[in-house]
Amino acid sequence: MPSFANLLYDLDAASGILTLTINRPTKLNALSNATIGELREAMQTALNDAQVRGIILTGSGEKAFVAGADIAELTVLDDVAGRQAAEFGQEAFALIEESTKPVIAAVNGFALGGGCELAMACHFRIAAENARFGQPEVNLGLVPGYGGTQRLPQLIGKGKALELLMTADIIKADEALRLGLVNHVVPQSELLDFTRQLLTRILSKAPIAIGLVIDCVNAAYDKERQGYQAEANAFSRCFDSDDFREGTSAFLEKRPAVFTGR
């Protein structure tokens, strides 16, 4: 199992659930450049590992999921290095968003700046009651750099996203739920168990179909793709899979399906 300085990589072989934990508790799990690099490497490893079927992304401790980017690192950047840093983070987060294996964020505290952007790159989010969300970059004379200006409007709508981005307001978990930024809010003590149970339900479905659902939904937001065509292509592809034959046979025979991902 791979080892990282700022990231815990914990694969439960029985369930196929990988838990990735940002592990910089003394920095409230702030995203340093090295941490983003490790996250990228961990995602690449997970996507290439057949044992990994689904991923939970969380932060260590109870105070923070990820409290933001590492501000000390940002203060030494110029415009060229700033662009490089943004593109590096965007590429890492795109691995999460485009993963055909489901990725759920278990948000256990502050998810601010880069932390909110990281949570939004996941396929959806479960929040603890103490979770807080926000994009406070304008307080620092910055804008979000890891996709926040793009994903936040997709999730909650343009008007409210612009308000949050321009005011730098931090919202509580219940407000995030009302806006559609998170799917569920649960007590802190139940966060990981709830997320595992939900992911386990998803992993009981046909893996090829799950991956294609993710791809089709992403296509709707990709200016280079046509979403309806992507859906038609995905629908067609399913008919050539063992999972389709197993799923339909199980339905007709009134028994649980046993999917193989082939």
Copy the structure tokens of residue 21: 């934990």
Is 117 a catalytic site residue?
A: yes
Choose, from 117, 129, 190, 246, the residue flagged as catalytic. 117
Report how far residue 179's alpha carbon sits from residue 183's, in angstroms, rounded to the nearest whole number.
10
Q: Which of 137, 163, 175, 190 is catalytic?
A: 137
Contact 5, 38 (CB under 8 A): yes
Give the total residue count for the chain. Answer: 262
Q: Strand 170-172's sheet: what is its strand order?
A: 64-66, 110-112, 132-134, 170-172
Q: Pairing between strand 184-186 and 124-128?
A: parallel
Contacts of 69 (CB under 8 A, 6+ apart): 30, 31, 32, 113, 114, 145
Among all residues, which ones are annotated catalytic? Answer: 117, 137
